[in-house]
């Protein structure tokens, strides 16, 4: 099975178009690129999520980012990566003007304000079973050290220089914008104002002395980095980055005067300037890797939302390349959740509260909904009506009913996994063959979808198998078979149906860890037989009486998922 890339590296000295400019640049930077060669086995897995602003409370969209990363990390573990070889970072982004302003508005000490909200994100992630290994806060000393170290490195290399920035700044997005990125709008009062064309947030004019990063020097490097397939998934976001690269990149302002923004990391050697909050935030990925003493680099996957693609797909790799470090192996850029078709926003009052959703749907229910309905390539719509239909239909009915049937005392009084009779296997209803076929394909198909972060496709396949198992049980009529003098046929039906439940249990682990573990506990599947490689099904295996999964007693019968009431 293709799982990913290994740590085997090959070093390639950059040989690009030989023109004078490039040659002089190479001499200047002594830039060396290393690429990870693709192979079948990965030994460690380094994944990151964006760090979350603490000026507002956590919402459903934030949970989606971390659940995606968590499912990817759990899947890698199922494929054989040791738990202690997983690096999974998340955390909070706590510097910047909007946070400084939010704390001031609440008449609160800034650090206390940040600690309170950061704590809420952490509690929420713990509650939702996110297996992060690092929770980073940008106010930490280790982070300040990393930011100042890389800033000094870039100054020493000549990529950061003193300059003057005159242009637009958008506080809610904490971003500098060019003329082309802003537009004028007329308010209902008739008043005119300038806003960001992309986010619609108000912008203000600023003209200030600050430090600039020579982003324009990295156009070719970025194009080269983006030449590789699946560098950014889904593909449309890689195309978007390449499109941005068709126009010349302006240099990037990387500091702001301390008189305007004091809540941040001072520029090394110049206390009058604060490091630009986005540069500060991006460096968190280096901090968690131990920078400047890197223990692991680069990240295998960096998860981010579509609104922060430019920062992660242009500025971030350029900063790394400039510092002589490898850019990330890949980015997973996801689209957003809307609510009943409308963008989630505090002012519209339609922000979905994750705690309310957990209360209504349970932790596993919420995770299932996010990964079943979330399509990274385009926006997904959150609807409570649809949520109930999905959970009742798929977890309570399709999966829950199959488990119930297989463990019902009237059909399975001994509560065990019985053997499959070769004779029955040759004469069973056609639905049984289709089921065996689907099961045989499931591990590879789901692995492919999970590897590509298309968890929703993986779930479609799993549910299709469970649905087919129900069709088979329906056609095999175990309630009639139980009246026959010998149990061979009934046992055979149970064996196949329970095998489908086991397949669902193993493959659902990255999505709904508690529910899947409850399912596998009921089947009494030993902990060390829950990996992806335990999913081998072909006729020989299924018919083998000595198979690990035959004649095993089952655990206590428990309701898998409580049906939700239709009205809220």
Write out the residues near ligand MSP by the rule CB under 6 A. Answer: 50-53, 61-62, 64-65, 93, 281-282, 284, 304-305, 307-308, 336-337, 344
Cis before 553 (ω within 30)? no
Cβ burial, residue 556 (10 Å; 0-12/13-18/19+): exposed
CB-closest chain residue to ligand MSP:
305
Cβ 280 to ligand MSP, closest distance in Å?
9
Could you give the count of Cα atoms lying within 13 Å of 257 in the half-sphere of its Cβ?
A: 9
Cβ 120 to ligand MSP, closest distance in Å?
12
Cβ 333 to ligand MSP, closest distance in Å?
9
CA distance 433 to 425: 9
Of residues 61 and 510, the one with the C-beta less far from ligand MSP: 61
Of residues 130 and 473, the one with the C-beta less far from ligand MSP: 130
Angle (CA) 478-483-486 rounded to 5° is 90
Of residues 52 and 225, the one with the C-beta less far from ligand MSP: 52
Q: Which of 240, 213, 237 is nearest to 316 (CA)?
A: 213
State in Å, rounded, how far the first CA of the chain is from the last one: 44
CB atoms within 10 A of CB 424: 20
DSSP codes, 538-568:
-HHHHH-TT-TTSSPBP-----SSPPPPS--
Cβ 396 to ligand MSP, closest distance in Å?
26
Strand stretches in 171-236, DSSP E: 175-177, 182-186, 192-196, 204-213, 232-233
Cβ 468 to ligand MSP, closest distance in Å?
33
Of residues 237 and 561, the one with the C-beta less far from ligand MSP: 237
Q: How far is CA 242 from the centre of its chain?
A: 23
Angle (CA) 285-230-315 rounded to 5° is 40
Of residues 301 and 519, the one with the C-beta less far from ligand MSP: 301
Cβ 148 to ligand MSP, closest distance in Å?
17
Cβ 173 to ligand MSP, closest distance in Å?
8
Of residues 86 and 304, the one with the C-beta less far from ligand MSP: 304
Of residues 275 and 281, the one with the C-beta less far from ligand MSP: 281
Of residues 66 and 560, the one with the C-beta less far from ligand MSP: 66
Strand stretches in 42-181, DSSP E: 45-53, 86-93, 134-137, 160-170, 175-177
Q: Which of 273, 276, 278, 336 is nearest to 304 (CA)?
A: 336
Cβ 285 to ligand MSP, closest distance in Å?
7
Cβ 348 to ligand MSP, closest distance in Å?
12
CB atoms within 10 A of CB 160: 25
Cβ 92 to ligand MSP, closest distance in Å?
8
CB atoms within 10 A of CB 382: 22
Q: Where does 245-383 have alpha helices with state H?
A: 277-282, 284-287, 309-310, 316-322, 354-361, 363-373
Of residues 306 and 502, the one with the C-beta less far from ligand MSP: 306
Residues 6+ apart with CB under 8 A from 538: 440
Of residues 52 and 561, the one with the C-beta less far from ligand MSP: 52
Of residues 282 and 366, the one with the C-beta less far from ligand MSP: 282
Cβ 363 to ligand MSP, closest distance in Å?
18
CB atoms within 10 A of CB 80: 15
């Amino acid at each position: 099975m293709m799982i990913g890339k290994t740590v085997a590296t090959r070093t390639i000295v950059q040989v690009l178009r030989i023109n004078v400019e490039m040659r002089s640049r190479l001499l200047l930077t002594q830039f060396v690129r290393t690429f990870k060669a693709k192979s079948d086995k990965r030994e460690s897995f380094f994944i990151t999520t964006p760090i979350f602003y603490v000026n507002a409370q956590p919402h459903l969209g934030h949970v989606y980012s971390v659940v995606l990363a968590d499912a990817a990390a759990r899947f890698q573990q199922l494929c054989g990566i040791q738990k202690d070889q997983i690096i999974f970072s998340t955390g909070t982004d706590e510097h910047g003007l909007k946070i400084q302003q939010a704390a001031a508005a609440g008449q609160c000490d800034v650090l206390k304000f940040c600690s309170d909200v950061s704590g809420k994100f952490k509690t929420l992630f713990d509650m939702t079973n996110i297996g992060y290994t690092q929770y980073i806060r940008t106010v930490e000393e280790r982070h300040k050290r990393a930011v100042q170290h890389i800033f000094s490195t870039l100054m020493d290399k000549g990529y950061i220089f003193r300059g003057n920035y005159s242009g637009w700044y958008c506080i809610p997005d904490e971003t500098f914008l060019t003329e082309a990125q802003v537009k004028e709008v007329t308010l209902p009062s008739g008043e005119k104002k300038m806003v960001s064309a992309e986010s619609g947030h108000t912008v203000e004019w600023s003209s200030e002395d600050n430090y600039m990063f020579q982003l324009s020097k990295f156009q070719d490097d970025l194009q080269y980095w983006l030449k590789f397939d699946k560098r950014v998934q889904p593909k449309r976001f890689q195309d978007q980055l390449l499109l941005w690269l068709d126009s010349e990149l302006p240099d990037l302002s990387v500091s702001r005067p301390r008189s305007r923004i004091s809540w941040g990391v001072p520029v090394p050697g110049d206390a009058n300037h604060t490091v630009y909050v986005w540069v500060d935030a991006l460096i968190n990925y280096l901090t968690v890797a131990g920078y400047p003493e890197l223990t692991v680099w680069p990240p295998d996957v960096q998860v981010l939302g579509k609104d922060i693609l430019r920062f992660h797909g242009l500025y971030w790799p350029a900063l790394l390349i400039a510092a002589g470090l490898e850019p990330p192996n890949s980015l997973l850029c996801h689209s957003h959740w809307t609510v009943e078709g409308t963008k989630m926003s505090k002012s519209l009052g339609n922000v979905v509260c994750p705690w309310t959703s957990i209360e209504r749907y349970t932790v596993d229910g919420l995770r299932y909904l996010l990964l079943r309905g979330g399509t990274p390539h385009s926006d997904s719509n959150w609807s409570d009506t649809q949520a109930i239909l999905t959970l009742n239909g798929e977890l309570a009915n399709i999966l829950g009913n199959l488990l119930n049937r297989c463990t019902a005392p009237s059909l399975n009084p001994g509560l065990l996994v019985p053997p499959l009779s070769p004779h029955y296997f040759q004469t069973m209803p056609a639905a049984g063959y289709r089921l065996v076929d689907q099961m045989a394909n499931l591990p590879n198909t789901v692995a492919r979808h999970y590897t590509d972060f298309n968890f929703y496709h993986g779930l479609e396949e799993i549910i299709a198998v469970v649905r087919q198992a129900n069709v088979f049980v329906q056609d095999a009529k175990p309630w009639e078979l139980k009246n026959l003098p010998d149990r061979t046929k009934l046992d055979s039906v149970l064996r196949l149906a329970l095998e489908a439940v086991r397949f669902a249990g193993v493959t659902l682990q990255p999505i709904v860890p508690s529910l899947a573990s409850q399912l596998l506990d009921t089947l009494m599947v030993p902990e060390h037989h829950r990996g992806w490689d335990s999913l081998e099904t072909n006729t020989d295996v299924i018919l083998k009486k000595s198979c690990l999964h035959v004649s095993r007693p089952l655990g206590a019968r428990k309701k898998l998922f409580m049906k939700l009431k239709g009205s809220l």
